[in-house]
């Protein structure tokens, strides 16, 4: 068995429902799959001495899960006062409407189509609820509407799908763009360097204890994949499908459709930067 401390980001281990930091509790959704790993992590965040809590990503439209989130809050002596979304993919956001009905909360998101209430979310927003402070960090790339939430008091960042607790995420082309994603990773790296963030609370997979290590691994991984794709094109592989079969040959074939999203984003990035034919002159 590999020592978790030797893995990128130092994953904590088994993914379970329960406290992850002084202010964050995970309620794991029952939707495991190749894409969602152990399932969606729904985060219940609050100040320890407050009776108000914020929920980040209610998850899929699963009544038992949504009620489990509410029960977890009640067991901790808290009332859910606000719901936030990291992005609009169904495994994170599909249950938000029903959750809002059950809790009477507003739903805030970057995408207006996902909001319930007048207020959205934007980079630089600071959310204060029951003494809790969350800072909104724009991290487009996985999707155009992806956000992260910086939790300064725990020196943590809730990353949705921008950084996972295990493996790497896809750039969901055409909505997601690789250039944006690389910029977002650099933005998260600055949180680890300038703001002392050391814990990643991801949307899927285990908590990561080494946020900077995780970000550096993601950046190195993307650079490596870009080089592989560029070489594949130089060798005459011109379609995304052919590039996936070559570059992702060691990856489970069930993940190739998702890998193709990333390859299309990589090809677009390489063309836009004039590194392969078809880009700007």
Answer yes or no: is pLDDT of 28 > 90.
Answer: yes
Q: Contact, 206 vs 20, CB < 8 A?
A: no
Q: Check residue 189 and report its DSSP letter.
A: H
Asked whether residue 25 carries a pLDDT value surpassing 50, the answer given is yes
Phi, psi (5° rounding) for residue 255?
-95, 0
First vs last C-alpha separation in the chain:
50
State whether CATH 3.40.50.10300 applies to domain 18-214. Answer: no
Q: What is the pLDDT of residue 278?
A: 79
Return d(Cα 225, Cα 145) in angstroms, integer: 24
In 3D, which of 164, 183, 181 has the Cα closest to residue 172? 181
- Is pLDDT of 280 > 50? no
pLDDT of residue 238: 85
> 208 near 37, Cβ under 8 Å?
no
pLDDT at 5: 66
Which pair of tokens denotes residue 229?
Answer: 């794709």
Mean pLDDT over 29-51 rounds to: 97
- Quickly list H helices, the chain: 63-75, 90-93, 96-103, 178-194, 211-234, 240-247, 256-272
Task: State the pairing for strand pair 126-129/107-108.
Answer: unpaired
pLDDT in tens, 54-113: 999 999 999 999 999 999 999 999 999 999 999 999 999 999 999 999 999 999 999 999
Distance from C-alpha of 93 to C-alpha of 140, rounded to nearest angstrom? 16
pLDDT digits (tens, 9 = 90+) for 116-134: 998 999 999 999 999 999 9
Rounded CA separation 268/141 (Å): 13
List all residues 6 or more positions away from 265 whose beta carbon is below 8 Å from its beta carbon: 171, 173, 174, 176, 177, 178, 181
């Amino acid at each position: 068995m590999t020592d978790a401390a030797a893995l990128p980001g130092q994953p904590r281990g088994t993914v379970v429902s329960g406290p992850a930091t002084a202010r964050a509790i995970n309620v794991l959704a029952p939707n495991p799959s190749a894409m969602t790993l152990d399932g969606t992590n729904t985060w219940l965040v609050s100040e320890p001495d407050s009776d108000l809590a914020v929920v980040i990503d209610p998850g899929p439209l699963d009544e038992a899960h949504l009620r489990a989130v509410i029960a977890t809050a009640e067991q901790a002596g808290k009332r859910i006062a606000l719901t936030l979304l990291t992005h609009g993919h169904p495994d994170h956001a599909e249950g938000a409407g029903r959750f809002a009905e059950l809790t009477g909360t507003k739903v805030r998101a970057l995408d207006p189509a996902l909001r319930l209430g007048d207020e959205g979310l934007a980079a630089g927003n600071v959310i204060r609820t029951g003494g809790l402070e969350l800072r909104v960090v724009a991290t487009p790339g996985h999707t155009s509407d992806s956000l992260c939430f910086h939790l300064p008091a725990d020196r943590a960042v809730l990353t949705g799908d921008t950084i996972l607790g295990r493996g790497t995420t896809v750039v969901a082309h055409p909505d997601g763009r690789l250039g944006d994603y690389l910029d977002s990773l650099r933005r998260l790296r600055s949180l680890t360097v300038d703001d002392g963030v050391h814990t990643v609370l991801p949307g899927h997979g285990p908590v990561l204890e080494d946020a900077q290590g995780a970000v550096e691994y993601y950046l190195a991984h993307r650079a490596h994949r870009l080089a592989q794709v560029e070489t594949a094109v130089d060798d005459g592989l011109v379609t995304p499908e052919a590039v996936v079969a070559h570059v992702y040959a060691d990856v489970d074939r069930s993940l190739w459709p998702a890998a193709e999203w990333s390859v299309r984003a990589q090809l677009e990035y390489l063309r836009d930067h004039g590194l392969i034919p078809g880009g700007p002159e």
